[in-house]
Structure 1
Amino acid sequence: MRRLSRRKLFLQGSQDNASRESKMPTSRSLDRVVSGTPNCEMPPPTSVQREHVQSSQVDLRVDVPGTFGNEASNSQDHISSSSHSSTGPMPRLASSNTKKRRRGRTILRNITTLPDDQRIALEWNDRLQPIGENRENFVNYIGIQARNGALVPIHYMDWHEVPQRHKDEAWNLVKFIKLLQKKFVVTEQHKNWVMRKLGDRWRAYRNKLKVDYYDQFDTNKERIRNCPPDVHLDQWKQLVKYFSSDLFQARSGRGKSNRAKHTMVHVCGSKSFAQIREELKNSHPDKREPTRIEVFRATRQKKNGDIPNEDVCRAIRSLDEIEMIDADNSQSSNGHQDALSQVLGAEHSGYARMFGFGPTPSKIWGKKVDRLKMENDKLLRQLEEERAEKEQLKSQQEQLKAQQEQMKAHQDQMESLMTSMMVTLSQNGFINLSSILHGSAPITSQGNNNEGAGASHKQTSQQ
């Protein structure tokens, strides 16, 4: 009979762990048992079994296939006696597939075990985003509910393609809201953000299931056989079928390609952009809202000021150049056509950069049609202002022209008066007009003598 490997016996024994109670046998006792067992076909080990054999020391009894009656009983007794006679520690299988122990799932015992009469207060900003010290626990609690297949089934193709009827009735989201309200202070105005975050965590959970339980196997039969814990088998079968479809493969390829283009990743960890914006706002002396450029710097630079990405360095240099050219506009603008849009490109639909999860371009800057109307109205106002300035300038020019004409008329009048006076003086002999025209003295000596002679003659006549 062909000798079975110890590894297969360990794996086969793990399958019958629930029905047997003896200890895991040592390697020597396994050798003695294997030598008397017939050849058999054994299923390939699963990932769950591998991890179980490598890291667990629970009580196992090896079930040797192909043995019946007393033979099987004697074999099991032999294993049991050998395992009890061993004084050393239980052996572990040496394997090249040994994985590093990871942290378990987030369960938030301090939240789930909270008494019903106690609720955790949440702080929300003006855009209805959670901030403050309880924000992270709140988001993690939503993630826990997103993994609840009874509450949020995972087998639908896409969150947005699920009919609203299923979201409201079959998925019982009203119960989900009440569940949140039982632990956290959540009002109806926050429902939109909560539902969007639930969809985000739902997609993230499905992606993790694909990486951990779908990509690890080559066939759908193996994938279905290794259904993840806490996932309903029927939902997992449908999800495996969807993951294997051409539609999903095409979507996945586009997603990977788009993700590869995203090189300017943030370095702020799990802290939300809403929280970072709030901290930047509180740190400013005027408590003003930070610009998108300030948020970009804060989320791409490390605490010591280092920038670990060359693409980020180039973007920041470009932003610095724009700020130097137009400092007033770049520091005050938070619009969709600010300096950040000039460097990184236009905004995509459904997401406003540097504002965090939740706000959309339409909510921050208005819908595209409304934005176009606002821009058109702004241009019209600018044209009206320019037209008014031109009219005012034209009026000023006309007034200036009228003043110039008035001054010219006054000057002509003065010149005419001066000419008339000079002619009169010339006729009376007081001035020599020809001398004036030739640049000579306006008053002649003859005139003075005549004036003196006339006076003397007048005096003589009176005598």
Structure 2
Amino acid sequence: MDAYMDIDAVDLGNVMGSNLPSSDTQQTTINDVPCNMEVAVIETAHDSDTEDEEFSPGSKRRGNNKPNWARRGSVEILKFNNQGQAVEPNETVARWQRYLGLMVKDHTLFGLDVLDWRTFRKTKVLDEAWCRIKRTIDWSDPETRKKSRKIRYTVERKLNDRWKQFKAKLRKEWYAPNWGTEARFHCGDKRVNNNQWVKLVDHWETPKGQRRASANKRNRAKKRMSHTTGTKTFAQVRNQYKIEHEGAEPDRCTMFELTHTRSDGKPVDKESEKAIMDMRQKISTIKDAKRASHLPEIITNIEINEVYASVLGKEKHGAIRGFGIGVRLDDVPDVLVEKRGAQLEVQALREEHEAELDHIRKESQEREAKLRDEMNKQEMATTDRMKRLEMQLLNQQAMFERFFSAGLLPNIVPISQNGAANLNFPTEMGTHNNSLQTSSVDAFETPHHVPISPSTLQKKHSSL
């Protein structure tokens, strides 16, 4: 079902901050794309193809420009890469960038008095913005539908970037020139809600706001290089390279040359020229070393990242240079990242925890080895005792056999190792407890006690 909304000149002026004639308004038809909210896309007319037209004090007013995006309920066909970045067609991508840039200037959605971008996520503002954006894109391609989650992530990152840029421009044009005067509380840009502007100015003048502004100014002053892509995104440059090289991805050093070299082949500035020469020199050194070692002169992705980091430094803040907004560290393998601040603390805690685990594991292994040694010693001691008992038993059996062979004892079945022997004494033979120095005498069965005369015993002993 299509949703329709009529926007008159009064409503349009309240929303976008411009007093346009009623002829510039239109009835907007929004295609039915699955969405959790029923919202309307507000479109305004403008004159130029630039992203927007801010009005500096004393400049001639030209009016707000229009996104020229998804007019009259139509949908736009875009091709996205695997990271959710729009890459084709070029003209549509340019209008797509302007459309996102104008959306963050709608104070009914993205208020200037909001100090933390995450607030928009908590208040469902980003859900509403994505719902509007989603309705303007053609989702008939299955590949585009599969990338919906990444497309939204990239869109939110771009909106965040455009929102910060918009506030920075307003500060430069309307706050900095009027600093210290009452005029700083009035913004001449008609798209800005004045109540939100006053709150933003109050925040800038707090100690926290001043510290942040000073830090941003110092960081901005460190920038020494500029790229030459203009309105074309890095994702488009990378996609064009893939088309021209049969699907091959440009490495990071090649990408730096593509984005920092003019059409005549000259670097955009001296810093870029030095960086390009250093990269080429390091790559040439690696190839020479491989050639000397009779190895293929193929530069791996790991080696390219090492060269890139040695010239331009490691990556910071979770972003990756040369890939554009929306690409995360997980999307690019083997990237060297500089760890600082909380990351260093977390890394130190992790290493300390791992060292403690190793110590505990080592102590456990030592205790286990000690216990195993003690058990082995006990087993060996038990085995020795069993052997000694077995030898004693064999010695006793040999003694009994000598007694029987001498006629001192009746015939006896040899003692078995598995149990006591069956000893059968004749009725005329008695027993003499003192003649057997063994603990197994009690095992003999003596049904009758026949006294033996001392003379008989003396004769038997003499025969031995």
Under a length normalisation based on structure 2, what TM-score does the superposition of the two structures give? 0.53
Q: CA deviation at 1:216?
A: 2.5
Aligned to 1:224: 185
Q: CA deviation at 1:330?
A: 7.3
Q: 1:205 to 1:309 in 2, by over 3 A?
A: same
1:292 to 252, 266, 270: 252
Aligned to 1:202: 163
- Asked if 2 retains the 8 angstrom alpha-carbon contact of 1:292 and 1:334, the reply is no
Which aligned pairs between 1:350-389 and structure 2 lie closer than 5 A?
350-365=318-333
Q: CA deviation at 1:351?
A: 0.9
Q: Distance in 1 between matches of 2:331 and 2:228?
A: 26
Amino acid at match of 2:98: N
2:102 to 133, 144, 153: 144
Which aligned pairs between 1:74-153 and structure 2 lie closer than 5 A?
99=58, 101=60, 104-108=63-67, 110-111=68-69, 114-116=71-73, 118-132=74-88, 133=90, 134-153=92-111
- Asked if 1 retains the 8 angstrom alpha-carbon contact of 2:121 and 2:127, the reply is no
Which aligned pairs between 1:274-353 and structure 2 lie closer than 5 A?
274-284=235-245, 286-327=246-287, 331-333=299-301, 337-353=305-321
Percent of residue pairs bearing the same amino acid type: 24
Amino acid at match of 1:289: E
User: Which runs of 5 or more residues in structure 2 are unaligned?
Assistant: 1-55, 140-144, 288-295, 340-346, 348-464
SS of equivalent to 1:131: strand
Q: CA deviation at 1:280?
A: 1.2
Misfit runs of 4+, over 6 Å: 366-369
Q: Provide the alpha-carbon RMSD of the alignment.
A: 2.7
Q: Distance in 1 between matches of 2:153 and 2:284?
A: 40
Q: 1:138 to 1:342 in 2, by over 3 A?
A: same
- Asked if 1 retains the 8 angstrom alpha-carbon contact of 2:305 and 2:334, the reply is no
SS of equivalent to 2:72: coil
Amino acid at match of 1:148: D
Q: CA deviation at 1:363?
A: 2.9
SS of equivalent to 1:270: coil
Aligned to 2:138: 185
Q: CA deviation at 1:227?
A: 5.4
Instruction: Tell me the alpha carbon deviations over residues 211-257 of structure 1, each in whole angstroms, 9 at most, x when there is no partner.
Output: 12212213363222445312222211111101212212211211121
- Asked if 2 retains the 8 angstrom alpha-carbon contact of 1:336 and 1:365, the reply is no
Instruction: Tell me the alpha carbon deviations over residues 413-436 of structure 1, each in whole angstroms, 9 at most, x when there is no partner.
Output: xxxxxxxxxxxxxxxxxxxxxxxx
2:127 to 174, 178, 195: 174
- Asked if 2 retains the 8 angstrom alpha-carbon contact of 1:349 and 1:361, the reply is no
- Asked if 2 retains the 8 angstrom alpha-carbon contact of 1:336 and 1:347, the reply is no
- Asked if 2 retains the 8 angstrom alpha-carbon contact of 1:351 and 1:360, the reply is yes
Under a length normalisation based on structure 1, what TM-score does the superposition of the two structures give? 0.53
Which aligned pairs between 1:446-461 and structure 2 lie closer than 5 A?
none
More helix per residue? 1
- Asked if 1 retains the 8 angstrom alpha-carbon contact of 2:84 and 2:152, the reply is no
Amino acid at match of 1:174: D
How many residue pairs get aligned? The number is 265
- Asked if 2 retains the 8 angstrom alpha-carbon contact of 1:296 and 1:354, the reply is yes
Q: Distance in 2 between matches of 1:281 and 1:263?
A: 29
Instruction: Tell me the alpha carbon deviations over residues 254-289 of structure 1, each in whole angstroms, 9 at most, x when there is no partner.
Output: 1121122111211111111000011111111x4211
- Asked if 2 retains the 8 angstrom alpha-carbon contact of 1:322 and 1:339, the reply is yes
Q: 1:244 to 1:98 in 2, by over 3 A?
A: closer
Amino acid at match of 1:339: V
Amino acid at match of 2:231: S
Amino acid at match of 2:87: I
SS of equivalent to 2:97: helix
Q: CA deviation at 1:335?
A: 7.1
2:232 to 263, 271, 281: 271
Aligned to 1:246: 207
Amino acid at match of 1:274: A
Instruction: Tell me the alpha carbon deviations over residues 342-398 of structure 1, each in whole angstroms, 9 at most, x when there is no partner.
Output: 1111111221111111112233238979xx9xxxxxxxxxxxxxxxxxxxxxxxxxx
User: Which runs of 5 or more residues in structure 1 are unaligned?
Assistant: 1-96, 373-463
Amino acid at match of 2:75: R
- Asked if 2 retains the 8 angstrom alpha-carbon contact of 1:323 and 1:330, the reply is no
Instruction: Tell me the alpha carbon deviations over residues 137-185 of structure 1, each in whole angstroms, 9 at most, x when there is no partner.
Output: 112111111000111111122324x26422x1xx3x3322221122223
- Asked if 1 retains the 8 angstrom alpha-carbon contact of 2:234 and 2:322, the reply is yes
Q: CA deviation at 1:99?
A: 4.9
- Asked if 2 retains the 8 angstrom alpha-carbon contact of 1:123 and 1:130, the reply is yes
